[in-house]
Chain A
């Protein structure tokens, strides 16, 4: 069975600090996809990134970066120079390649609070 663990329930930082959100996953599939979604107070999940299991290159998009390490089954997300608008709940998710594609297994989320 697939499982995603986000051990950090809540993180509070002051604006401009860097923050890393941890994600550890379990799967028996050799081909899978990993995602991060942001859920602001409005409730709508917003896609941030997808990474497939064969691509371990780290990715940077503006202030966001992702570190995928298959050896430790981790897919961590770093926000550099955090801003108040980054305050939200962030979910890591895992999808199997076969079966129902895009059937996501989500972690329990990490609530990020960025204050001035």
Chain B
């Protein structure tokens, strides 16, 4: 597609439910990032993929968070047993080259609310 697409745009979950957030990056983009943005804060890094390889997951806050990109294109961020502190906007970003310290293209995010 023309840009980074994320779904769902909005998700309400009851505490303890599992959720899955999808990211469809720009076609051909090698690098894919997930960021978490709490209300009124800047985005915080979660994890990075280069093609299908997850090269950095140092930002994942707990083992309840899991991300995958099995074919090097679409990525899914899964959160198990959601907690209220997981409420945030989850942003996906992609870039054309590996290790490219330049422009990232962001999606509009998935807003997760945990009740």
Contacts and interface: CB of A to CB of B under 8 A. Distances in A.
Contacts of A107: 42
The 10 A-B residue pairs with the shortest CB-CB distance in the complex, in nearest-first order: A106-B42, A45-B106, A101-B99, A47-B103, A101-B101, A100-B56, A44-B108, A43-B108, A43-B109, A33-B101
B102 A100 contact: no
B interface bracket (residues with beta carbon within 8 Å of A): 20 to 34
A38 to B, nearest CB: 11
Contact of B100 (A37, A42, A44, A101): A101
A50 B95 CA distance: 14
Interface residues of A, number: 25
A97 interface: yes
A88 interface: no
Contacts of A87: none
Interface of A: 4, 33, 37, 42-47, 50, 91, 93, 95, 97, 99-109
Nearest to A6: B42
Contacts of B105: 47
Given A44-B107, A44-B108, A102 B41 contact: no
